[in-house]
Structure 1
Amino acid sequence: MIIDLRSDTVTKPSENMLDAMMSAQVGDDVFREDPTINALEERLAQMFGKQKALFFPSGSMANQVAIKLHTNSGEQVICDKYAHIYNYEVGGVAFHSGSSCKLIDGNRGMFTAKQVEEAINPSEYYYSQTSLVEVENTTNKGGGACWDFQEFLNIKQVCKTKNLGLHLDGARLWNAMVAKHESAIQYGKIFDTISVCLSKGLGCPVGSVLIGDEDIMKKSLSLRKLFGGNMRQAGYLAAAGLYALDNNIERLAEDHKRAKEIGEVLSKLSIIKRVEPIETNILIFELNDGIDESTFINQLLDKNIRIIGMGSNKLRMVTHLDYTDAMHEKLLTILNKLRL
């Protein structure tokens, strides 16, 4: 039994999801003739109360297209220092949009409206123009932390006053909505554009969707083509997304519960310095000084447990729908007996 907790992207489609994929009606999506793609996009647009949605092969591409829609070359994006768009998208903000990032020193990937106001560049001609505020919910490097929804409302007010776009990287937004009992419509009322991932907690093999109103999304299709993201009979992938929306959202609470139970065990181990607060399915913990990160990872690997190192003696585990009760019991037993 291999227990893979490196990410919630390691899941594989269930038999029922595969059945839905194999029975999908498909067409050529470049001609916008794939009925299952169209159904998925329409459903997500309606779910968030927006006019348009567009399917993408990856969340990074969806985010990068969103940034391109909001900015011009030489402008600036405000985001947290932990933001995925800054740390894990290969400098795409600069490469694709010719924009730079103004980094906020937030708390676990989250910041305040006051910090946004302070980060906006002055209007003098020799400053880069601030055009966009980007937030991430849940925060990846912040350990799956969920934003306080009131802070989104506060940030939205700043964006309206200063005429800034507001984009949400919702790679794990489903986790946040389940944990905080929030709705998609609530998010749709605040954000100009929203990217949601189907291949993380929801268990699909491929796919993210960018959602927004008609005006901001006008160039999204041509930009997807420019970025190389157009696909043909992609309805097989969209069918997985439709199945996941019907079956795999509410069960995310199970992942959150298991993550907290792992955290409780880790917090009692003498080799662990600190376990960061756990709200959803990501747990980040730090080893005590003198405990070698590679040794810890390899000792778990010898027992067929895969986790990921983040550097500086910090490690990460992510629970997901392929992490079963049997795996959970085995992991807790092994952790309780762990000695270095």
Structure 2
Amino acid sequence: MEFQTTLTTTPVAEQQLAEILAAPGFGTHFTDHMVTVEWTPERGWYDARVTPYGPLTLDPATAVLHYAQETFEGMKAYRHEDDSIWLFRPEENAARMVRSSHRLALPVLEVPDFLAAVEALVAVDHRWVPDGAGEKSLYLRPFMFASEKFLGVRPSQHVTFMVIASPAGSYFAGGLKPVTLWLTTEYTRAGRGGMGAAKTGGNYASSLVAQQEATSHGCDQVVFLDAAEGRYVEELGGMNMYFVHADGSIVTPATGTILEGITRSAIIELAGKLGHEVTERRIDVDEWRDGVTSGEITEVFACGTAAVVTPVGSLKWDGGATPEVAEAGPVTTRIRQALVDIQYGRAEDTFGWMHRVV
């Protein structure tokens, strides 16, 4: 896939950009350009282009607005000390979008074309990638949606794939602090055969009311249990989970109804290299509660692209809570630091995860 590039005539001024990159926040500012590729059954993918960033014009009958046929990815570009720019496991993001597309009845964008699209935007907007101080990065959002003007319930015959980018600061602006989780028993995220393993907006929309419930109880995030029995830990609204046991072994919920996180799978490999036995299996919520109380479970953490690794301080539910943990444990801290050091080029990438763009 080759991209035609039209550069903006009004790029953000250098001084303004410097101010943005000094304190970028998350998802607030967007780069000068965006990538767009279109698809129809007759033409396949066509008109791949890099253009100035700007609003979209959509017909009120655009299919995605009515039937939510869309997928997306989240990934980051990192600037290393030698000024080179790298992506973290972009092939895995591309492969996951393929799986998500199958589940949402969308056309498949092959892995090389996905990578070419992301690289095209990073190459054009490389000045927007912040330095690595304070774990800053350029967040990349590839997404695909049903763009046909049609109100019938069927797969869209016109699909648009895009990539936009936004500089991001550290998830923990005030330092690494454990989060408090709320256990919802009212809502579930996905059932067997559902869309839990697809990265699609509907999964996140369905988590919002549960997140409101968590916030109303003074918690930072919500934990979902399985839909079939309401017993087994699945994941947070946007992060996978890990449980560290007293013998150093680590357990993480098995896939099937949860999102197969890119960071999740990296931690399985990394933790194994650091000497921890990692098991993927079902985890009863009572095992979590009893294990933390007895000391059998010594640390709990969550992971995702935005936060990388997040320590869990306490689990709360209607009528109780686990003992509070005031700071990140040694295993959580070691795994997080090892992963971040690879991403920012401070440690050797023995896994072959990093992909150079510039």
Q: What TM-score comes out, normalization by structure 1 length? A: 0.23
Higher RCO by CA contacts (8 Å cutoff, separation 6 or greater): 1
Larger fraction in helix: 1
Q: Comparing both structures, which one devotes a greater share of its residues to strand? A: 2
Task: State the TM-score, normalizing by the size of structure 2.
Answer: 0.22
